[in-house]
Amino acid sequence: MLLEVKQLSSWYGQARALWDIDLMVDEGEVVGVLGRNGAGKSTLLRAIAGLCPKITGEIVMGARPIARLPTHKIALAGMSMLREAGRLASSLSVAQNIALAQRLAHARRREQPSMSDVLARFPLLEPLIDRKAGLLSGGQRQALCLAMAFASRPSLLLLDEPSAGLAPSVTRELYDSIAHLAESGMTVLVVEQHPAWLSQLATRGYLLEMGRVTAEGPLDAILDAVVLQSEAEEAQPSSHMTKEGSA
């Protein structure tokens, strides 16, 4: 077991965002987290990565408890997180951003891939190698973030809505790259609002509603639960119709 989360809760100020989450990810596995906007998906990843100031519960990566560790220590332990609309050093070139990620691999005491190895996995970036990251398109930025994740050699990669704001053709290329990373043995926990993108990637999944896990298991079962959830919502009358009907 690479990641085990037990009874994880999180707060923003006095507002509770997560309720007693249990979650597991085996080494080399790709696990998806699905749910509507506001379900708590991104908060879950942030809590695991040490970015939420107030949490309770247990988070163990490998054999090491990491809950409430400083973010930089969690990163050195082997966790990388790619957030929605990936954040980069905009004034640095593609090559310089990748070099920073290679330094993180060294700090993790893992063999860092060469620049040619990285570009072989992400050929889209080769003609952009000297371009500043701030001048890249959304899809190019996400590709660079994935390349940096590969270069930093994480034990666990957290992906937060990698398809957000991207055209379907770009998202398809992006998920192909994620699949290649998974095939190389990287363990991935991916949050996604659009379940179709996970169908060829994740083996298992969790469904979140209002900060709680309401379903877990094989991805097909989770996708069925998402469909049932959507159908139930569509079948509910609007508040306006309900008021008219009760009048």
Domains of the chain: 1-78+156-238 (3.40.50.300), 88-154 (no CATH)
Residue 217, SS3?
Answer: strand
Instruction: Give dist(CA 184, CA 57) in Å, integer.
Output: 31
Structure tokens belonging to residue 27? 């080494």
Instruction: Give dist(CA 75, CA 72) in Å, integer.
Output: 5
Give the pTM: 0.88
Residue 243 has pLDDT above 90, yes or no: no
Q: Where are the beta strands (DSSP E) in 62-116?
A: 64-65, 79-82
Q: Taking a C-beta distance cutoff of 8 angstroms, is the pair 93, 115 a contact?
A: no
Give the pLDDT confidence score for residue 86 in this predicted structure. Answer: 61
Residue 244 has pLDDT above 50, yes or no: no
The number of residues making up the chain comes to 247
Mean pLDDT of 142-146: 91
pLDDT above 70 as % of the chain: 94
Q: Taking a C-beta distance cutoff of 8 angstroms, is the pair 82, 157 a contact?
A: yes
H/E stretch holding 167: none
Owner of token pair 């596995």: 29
Question: Band of the pLDDT at 246, cuts 50, 70, 90?
Answer: very low
Beta bridge partners of 23: 5
Give the pLDDT confidence score for residue 228 in this predicted structure. Answer: 76
